[in-house]
Amino acid sequence: MRYATLRVLLWRRALDPHVGRWSLPGGRLRPDEDVETSIRRQLAEKVDVRQLAHVEQLAVFSAPDRVPGPRVVATAFLGLVPSDADPAVPEDTRWHEIDALPRTAFDHREIILRARARLRAKLSYTNLGFALAPKEFTISALREVYSAALGYKVSATNLQRVLSRRGLLVPTGHTAPPGRGGGRPAALFSFAGEGIQVTDPFAVFRPPPKRR
């Protein structure tokens, strides 16, 4: 069975340098706005994305040669969109699987991989899954979200046990519609709140051991 994969939103550059390459949305900070306001504005204006569930600063990228011409320093941010969101993006914008990135502009590939590493680390010791999951979900669906983000198949039983022990899962009292095969309806859950929290500072999700 093939699990969903983590994707990043890129748009194709129409101007030099690196015309035609795929790049992360971005732009300049206005004098009258803070950085997060600028990020949300630019995503809404340029690629019509307004469903950001979480935003945090990732890193500053300042290599002297990262952009041709005058030196440009970039502050990169990690922004997460829930897995059930489906924004209508412009024709020059597309979701790309991180495991199969096209040729990107400047150092954007490095930025993307750094963001993925940050996400994977934070899923281990925080409640950040709330920003990727729908408002209500089955444990099977949540397993798909975590598997996509972490890059390996996650055990639904173990995931439920870990998140329940941390007090992150709340039964909604609802059930999902039965699938084509019928069977017992699956219970629906939600996360116990929004906003980033450290839930277990020493926890690390690890892939299952490989079979010999």
* Of the candidates 18, 24, 205, the residue with the CA atom closest to the CA atom of residue 98: 24
Distance of alpha carbon 155 from alpha carbon 159, whole angstroms: 6
Q: Give percent of the chain above pLDDT 70.
A: 96
Distance of alpha carbon 143 from alpha carbon 148, whole angstroms: 8
Residues 185, 138: one domain?
yes
Residues 106, 150: one domain?
no
* Cβ atoms of 12 and 20 closer than 8 Å: yes
* Cβ atoms of 25 and 77 closer than 8 Å: no
Number of domains in the chain: 2
Specify the pLDDT at position 206. Answer: 83
Query: pTM of this prediction?
Result: 0.91
Residues 36, 141: one domain?
no
Q: Helix 139-150 to helix 108-125 angle, to the nearest 10 degrees? A: 140
The answer to whether position 206 is within a domain reads: no
* Of the candidates 200, 139, 148, the residue with the CA atom closest to the CA atom of residue 172: 139
* Of the candidates 9, 208, 200, the residue with the CA atom closest to the CA atom of residue 121: 200
148-201 per-position pLDDT tens digit = 999 999 999 999 999 999 999 999 999 998 776 667 889 999 999 888 999 998
The answer to whether position 91 is within a domain reads: yes
CB-count exposure of residue 53 (10 Å: 0-12, 13-18, 19+): middle
Average pLDDT over residues 78-84: 93
Residues 51, 100: one domain?
yes
Dihedral angle sign, alpha carbons of residues 110, 113, 117, 118: positive
The answer to whether position 141 is within a domain reads: yes
User: How far does the chain reach from its first CA to its final CA, in angstroms?
Assistant: 20
Secondary structure of residue 28 in the 3-state scheme: coil
Specify the pLDDT at position 1. Answer: 41
The answer to whether position 28 is within a domain reads: yes
Residues with Cβ within 8 Å of 68's Cβ and at least 6 positions away in sequence, in order, are 17
25-74 per-position pLDDT tens digit = 988 889 999 988 998 898 888 888 888 999 999 999 999 999 998 899 99
Residues 40, 74: one domain?
yes
